[in-house]
Amino acid sequence: MIDYEQYTAGPARGAQVQKGEDKWTLILVRELRHSPEKVWQALTDPAQLREWAPFVSNSNMGTVGTVKLTWVGTPTPLETRVTRADAPKVLEYDDTRWELEAYGGGTRLTLWHSIDRRFIAWGAAGWHIAFDVLDRFLGGIPIGRIVGGDAMRLEVWRRLSAEYAKQFGVETPKGQPRAAQSS
């Protein structure tokens, strides 16, 4: 098990938003030191998703079809339709799209995720941390999944959330989420 207080993250970076009515689309880009094929496996294989993602899948997401995703903090699996699975380039399901591009010996990974605009900075902070965990997992130095309430309890999550809110020109919701409140 990881000592979450030992986890550090760099500054909020590589993110932008496309503004809609109630939902905004978070666009988060990260350059990883791993091949598109290796990153694709981490995006689609249920065992690998359990190591870094904020959800688990009941089956491989690498083909078009229906899977059940259980998001952290949500007890009921959601039936999800993978609508595009072009290995190792594009994966789409529900309100999420991943693009993988070979870049500098590794992969430029781009995530598009529609999020309620009130929580866009929180989502960016959460995905930022998930990407850090993913990169370490793929590099063979796993630190353990940091998602949901575990992530929100960290000072680094609060810092990232505030930095993304400033970048996006939004205010964070009043107060901290229950899991992030100090004891």
Specify the pLDDT at position 58.
Answer: 97
Tell me how crowded residue 16 is: count the other CB atoms within 10 A of its CB.
Answer: 12
**Tokens, residue 105:** 């010996």
25 contacts 114 by C-beta, under 8 angstroms: yes
pLDDT confidence of residue 171 = 84
User: At 18, phi and psi to the nearest 5?
Assistant: -110, 120
Residue 180 lies in a domain: no
Q: What is the CATH number of the domain that holds 65?
A: 3.30.530.20
- Residue 91 CA to residue 179 CA, distance in Å, equals 31
Round to whole Å and give the CA distance between 146 and 132.
10
Domain-located, residue 80 = yes
Residue 132 lies in a domain: yes
Report residue 14 CA to chain centroid gap: 13
pLDDT for 4 equals: 61
What is the pLDDT at residue 21? 87
- Residue 52, SS3? helix
Kindly state whether residue 178 falls inside one of the protein's structural domains. no
Q: Name the domain count of the chain.
A: 1
Q: Is residue 182 part of a domain?
A: no
For the chain, the C-alpha Rg in angstroms (whole number) is 16
Report the DSSP beta bridge partners of residue 66: 81
Q: What pLDDT is recorded for position 134?
A: 96
Q: Residue 179 has what pLDDT?
A: 40
- Give the residue numbers spanning the domain of 114: 12-170
Which residues, in sequence order, are bridge partners of residue 27? 16, 112
pLDDT digits (tens), the chain, 183 positions: 455 656 789 889 889 999 998 899 999 999 999 999 999 999 999 999 999 999 999 999 999 999 999 999 999 999 999 999 999 999 999 999 999 999 999 999 999 999 999 999 999 999 999 999 999 999 998 999 999 999 999 999 999 999 999 999 998 766 555 443 332
**Residue 2 within a domain:** no
For residue 178, what pLDDT is reported? 41
Q: What is the pLDDT of residue 22?
A: 86
| Partners of 108 in beta bridges | 31, 101
- Has residue 101 been placed in a domain? yes
Which residue reads 């529609």 in tokens? Answer: 114
